[in-house]
Structure formats: structure tokens, C-alpha cells
Amino acid sequence: MKIVKLLSQSSIALAISFGSFLWAPMALAAPELMKSADFGTVYYVDSRNIRHPFPTERTYRSWYGNDFSNIVTVSNEVLQNFPLGKNITIRPGTYLVKVRTAPEVYAVEQGGVLRVITDEGIAAAIYGDDWASRVVDIPDVFFGDYSIGKEIRHDYTIPNSILFKDPTSDTFFYKEQDILRKFESIDAVRANYLDPQFAFSVNRSFFIRERPITGRDKKIFNPAAEPITDRRDCEARNLRAAVVVVGNQEVSAAEIDKIQNIKKAIPGAFAVATRGLSDINVEYPTIVLLDDGFLLDPRADGTMDIKNETITTFYDNHEDIFDYIILFSNFTVPTEVNSNEIAHFVPITNRVEGINKANLDSAAAYGSTGKLKGVIVMGNINKYNTATLSGLTQTLEVINHEILHTWAGYINFTDAQGNPNSALLRSDDKKHWSIYAGFMSPLGGSGWVDNGNGTFTSGLLTLADTQLRSYSDLDLYLMGLIPSQLMSDVWYVQPSVAGLIDNTIAGTKKTVSIQQIVDANGTIACSRD
């Protein structure tokens, strides 16, 4: 990556990290490894200046091998300035572990997660015929440092957090969340204290990240790392988004200013759209990523595809705490030309039931552990006119529209014959509300006014170009913000002439109850799967 800039909402600042830790109270870089002059316990100091004990020499060697050269001896007075954290556990991918008082043999994954291997044949298939030579005992007193994960019941279940070797070449990869990332060289492998003798080498297919590992990587070498858990949620009230700008060339000050002005207005616009029932936090500094050959894919028509690697690169350096990434560019993306889309929503995860969307978890391919609900690709910042109130309003309407795709615009209802009916949806894509929907929403609908004489007039006529569309009651219900008990019936117009589009149309009012929607889609709930 050429450069990463962190932008506050009011200024541009280049952030440089030297990867050091601060001693307390001394203004010096804390060592990664330290021990007291009075006793032999070795501690790993994490990025928060918390010290974590290695409970056994075997545990230390699983991380650092035979290298004891970087351990710094300090006084107890210095040591006590570093709060004591949890014990370090055996490094994943090195040894299999057990306790003396039980027969189970476990593989280890990040954060000390133990996965019992249910059969010796499975152990041999994964680790080789000499798998038993990799088994080490954990003293019973330290078993509580670990947690129990899913059993390994099949020989194709290769544990994560391990060194992987291509069986057809001498290429090494790191495997995490079933994603492989290539080491650029054997030196990069060694820089992360990985021992090639522990590499797995089996014929399996995995998704491979493009950006190679070139040296020490904090996500690969972190003895104090927390377990990787499924962080998908059904949060709709308190949302958080990061704004990321990807450039094929230097992003100009004018482009940055425009993005910052949009960013400042997002929370207020979202609060208006959700009638104060939900909020979105965009206070995290804006991130600018310039293409270094891994982020973009130029096309013959002059547009550029934004690769998954853009998002995974973001997560290489930033916490997985965002529900959304709002992505701008300073070039044109293919969908802006080929499908005339202003912007589009890329769904990443979903656990919400009752909205006619499948349970989804594509987070690993984007570098998230599940918190990320979706990526909003806004496209070229230069197409947005934010110099006027109407232009800014239209831009914010686009963002509200794309966020709403998380929940709304997919449901059917059960008709009088007991069949699923999609009349509330746009017939061409089933991802937006129909123009004939009686309500109005950023995802469609016309807010029809019943004239009482068999004709209906579009409510869009009364909407000023500086006025944001609110989320409809149905949208808010699907978000879980309005309970079904408070939902009124919704309706749509069945035009007297199929496909008729006009400001005023003749037709028949068709009512849909919330029960018809529940019957077709189920109740709104957060899946446990």
C-alpha cells in the first residue's frame, strides 16, 4: 500500500505508527518481552501495555522457538506499571494438546480455542501418521486458560490460525477463517516465528487474498489475540460506519472536503429518516487508500473494479467495529456506467429472520469476523453535487437508501388464496418497493393519495427536492424498530391498466395486513445460527 491517510472531519493528518509501546511512567518504548530480575516468569506485552505470562516453557517455545534474545530484564517497580492480563496459550498450528487426566486431544486455534479431534483417523489425515508426536500435555491448572470450540469431525476440517504449504510448490500461506494469505518469502514466514516443520500440506481449495505477507504481521503474530468468534448481530438502533476513500491517484483536497461535508451530515439525515428510532456514528477518521496494484482492477471501458482486497486492507489496520463501510472513489466504477446505478449495496452478513433474506456470512472474504453488515459503494465522489442543499439532500438520500437495503425491500405477503404475493416489490428486481406501494420510502413507493373516486395521486409530487424521505412504518418494522402490534395495514394500488405510470392513475386499493406479511416471511427475530 502506498500510503494510508487518516482524516478527521475538520482536517487532514498523516498518521504514522512505529509499532512501539510506551512504558509507564517512563517515556521509552516498552519491550515486547520482559521478566523480573527476581523471578523467572516471562511476559508478553500487548499493544495496550498489558503483560501476559507464559505459563510454561513449552508455551513460550511454541511462539518464539529457541529465541530468548529479546527478553528484557526489568525491576519489579517497572514491571508493576504494566497491568497483569490473561495467560498466553499454546500457539495454534504448532502442537496438539491434552491434559493428563483426560483422553481428548485438541487442535488449538487463535485465542486458545480448543477443538477436540474426534477420531485418530481424522488426526492422521490432517496431521500425518506421526500426529501423536505433536501432542503435548497442558497442566490441569492451566486448562482454564483455554475455551472449547467446535469438534473436528471430518478430515477436511483444517484448523485455522496455521501455517499452510501448497502441496504442489514451496509456497507458504497463513490460514485464517478459511482464507489463505501468501507469504512473499521464507523470510516473511520466519519473521512471524513460524516453523515450516509445522506447516499443513493437504489438497484443499481456499479463497486466497491477493496482498502477500512481507514481514512481521500483528494479526499473525499476536500471543495475546482474542478468540475469533461469529460477531454477526441484528443491531439496528445504534449503528457505526467507517468512511473509506479509494483512489487510483492522489485524492484532491476538493474531493476530501466534499466527502467530509457529506460525512458531517450523515447522522442527522439518518436520524430524520428513522424518526429518531436509530442513529449512526461516523466519527471514525476517514481513511484514504491509494491503489498499489492490489486494490483496483482496470477495465477496458476506463472504469475500475474495486476488489475485496480494498476492504481486507482496511481491516489489516483498523478494528472490526463497523456495521458499514461507506466507500467513495475518485474514479468511475463499472456499475455507474453499465447499469446506471448511482450507488449499490454489497450485503456481507445477515442474521435477521422474517425479512425474506437468507442467513448470510461472507465476512471472512472482506476481513471482518461478522460485525460488518454491508459495504455501500457510492462510486465517484465527483458525480455528487453537494454545493447546494438539494444536491446534498440527494446524496444523503442515496446513503439512507443503501443502508436500508440491510432489511427492507424483499418481503412477500400471503394473499387470500394462501399464496406468496410480491406485489409490494418492484417486479424487475424484487429488491425495492413497487412504485404502486401506497407508502413512501427511500427504497421506493409513491405515497399514493386516495382521491376517493377510483384514482390515486402520487405523494411524490409534494416532496421538495430538499426534503429527505423518511423510512416507512414497514421499513422500521423490518428493522425491528416498530413491533408488529403497533403496525397498521399497508396497501398498494393495482392499476386499471397494467404498468401504467403517471402522477395520477386509476386503479384499485389493495390492503395488506401485518399478519399476511408475518405469515409469508415469519416473525422478526435474530437467528441463533
Nearest to 274 by CA among 237, 240, 247, 328: 237
More confident residue, 16 or 387: 387
How much is the CA Rg of the chain, to the nearest whole Å? 28
More confident residue, 362 or 6: 362
Q: How far apart are the first and last CA of the chain?
A: 37
Q: Report domain 238-404's class.
A: alpha beta
- 209 neighbors 173 (Cβ within 8 angstroms): no
Q: Give strand ranges (E) for 383-502.
A: 413-414, 420-421, 449-450, 455-457, 490-495
Backbone φ, ψ for residue 60 (5° rounding): -60, -45
Work out the number of other CB atoms within 10 angstroms of the CB of residue 251: 22
- Whole-number Cα distances in Å, 50 to 57, 82, 88, 455, 509: 20, 5, 12, 70, 65
Nearest to 293 by CA among 207, 210, 216: 210
Residue 30 pLDDT:
82
Q: Give strand ranges (E) for 451-489.
A: 455-457
Single-letter residue type at 202? V
Give pLDDT tens digits for 237-250. Answer: 999 999 999 999 99
pLDDT-based confidence at 205, cuts 50/70/90? Answer: confident
Residue 29 pLDDT:
64
Give pLDDT tens digits for 100-143. Answer: 999 999 999 999 999 999 999 999 999 989 999 999 999 999 99
- 297 neighbors 307 (Cβ within 8 angstroms): yes
Mean of pLDDT values over 378-389: 96
> What are the residue ranges of CATH 3.40.50 in the chain?
238-404
Share of the chain above pLDDT 90, in %: 86
Per CATH, domain 32-88 is 3.30.2390.20? yes
> What are the residue ranges of CATH 3.30.2390.20 in the chain?
32-88
C-alpha cell at 344: 449499490
Q: Which residue has the cell 502442537?
A: 95
Say if strands 33-36 and 71-74 run parallel, antiparallel, or are unpaired: parallel
- Whole-number Cα distances in Å, 345 to 68, 83, 178, 379: 50, 43, 25, 11
Residue 22 pLDDT:
28
Average pLDDT, the chain: 92
Residue 16 pLDDT:
26
More confident residue, 467 or 2: 467
